[in-house]
A and B are shown apart, each in its own frame.
Chain A
Amino acid sequence: GQQVMQIPQYQHVQEGEDFTTYCNSSTTLSNIQWYKQRPGGHPVFLIQLVKSGEVKKQKRLTFQFGEAKKNSSLHITATQTTDVGTYFCGGGSNYKLTFGKGTLLTVNP
């Protein structure tokens, strides 16, 4: 079945440093969604990408969808302590999302 791998599993940065998490699928995806889960919280939707090569920005966050629609990345510029949490990608084919295991980001102030 479809597998979605996410790396790294953990990332610790100093406040102000950049952060990137990568998502790779074994199959072509119809879309990819990114979610953020704060410690003790539930996943909250960040963005959806559907087009090959698509790039979307939300303030300090940049999301990319690969040309082959099999990989994606989330880049955070100049991290802040409020960025702490686990970032999940979910790759979709039809209605079902297969989620990666997430990247836990911790930020040292």
Chain B
Amino acid sequence: GAGVSQSPSNKVTEKGKDVELRCDPISGHTALYWYRQSLGQGLEFLIYFQGNSAPDKSGLPSDRFSAERTGGSVSTLTIQRTQQEDSAVYLCAGGFLPYEQYFGPGTRLTVT
């Protein structure tokens, strides 16, 4: 496709349930990031993948959060036992280091 895609675009879940968020980056982009953006806030770094290197997970807020990137392409962010404070927009971005990042449209997660 022409750009980064994310699914679902919106997700409403009950507290305590697990969710999976998907990111399809632009083909060939070696770097992939996940960010979290709360209402009116900046972009909070979560995790970074680069090629076959070990990911930088330093931004994950708790062990309920995990992410994987299969085949150097599609990535999935999983949040287990969701809490209300997890409600936010989750953005995926890809690119070639050290250049610009191309952001997807995001997944708006609402935990009720």
Contacts and interface: CB of A to CB of B under 8 A. Distances in A.
Interface of A: 6, 30-31, 33, 35, 41-45, 48, 88, 90, 92, 95-102, 104
B12 interface: no
A9 to B, nearest CB: 9
Given A31-B98, A99-B42, A42 B31 contact: no
Contacts of A35: 103
B104 interface: yes
Given A88-B42, A95-B50, A96-B45, A30 B98 contact: yes
Nearest to A99: B43
B42 A44 contact: no
B39 to A, nearest CB: 12
B42 A102 contact: yes
Given A95-B50, A96-B48, A45 B42 contact: no
Contacts of A90: 43
Given A6-B42, A42-B91, A98-B45, 18 more contacts: A42-B103, A42-B106, A43-B43, A43-B91, A44-B103, A45-B100, A90-B43, A92-B98, A95-B48, A95-B97, A96-B45, A99-B35, A99-B42, A99-B44, A99-B45, A101-B42, A102-B42, A104-B40
19 contacts: A30-B98, A31-B98, A33-B101, A41-B105, A42-B103, A43-B43, A43-B93, A45-B102, A95-B31, A95-B48, A95-B97, A96-B45, A97-B45, A97-B101, A99-B35, A99-B42, A99-B44, A99-B45, A104-B40
A33 B95 CA distance: 13
Nearest to A45: B100
B20 interface: no
Contacts of B56: 95-96
Interface string B36-58: 00001111110010100000100
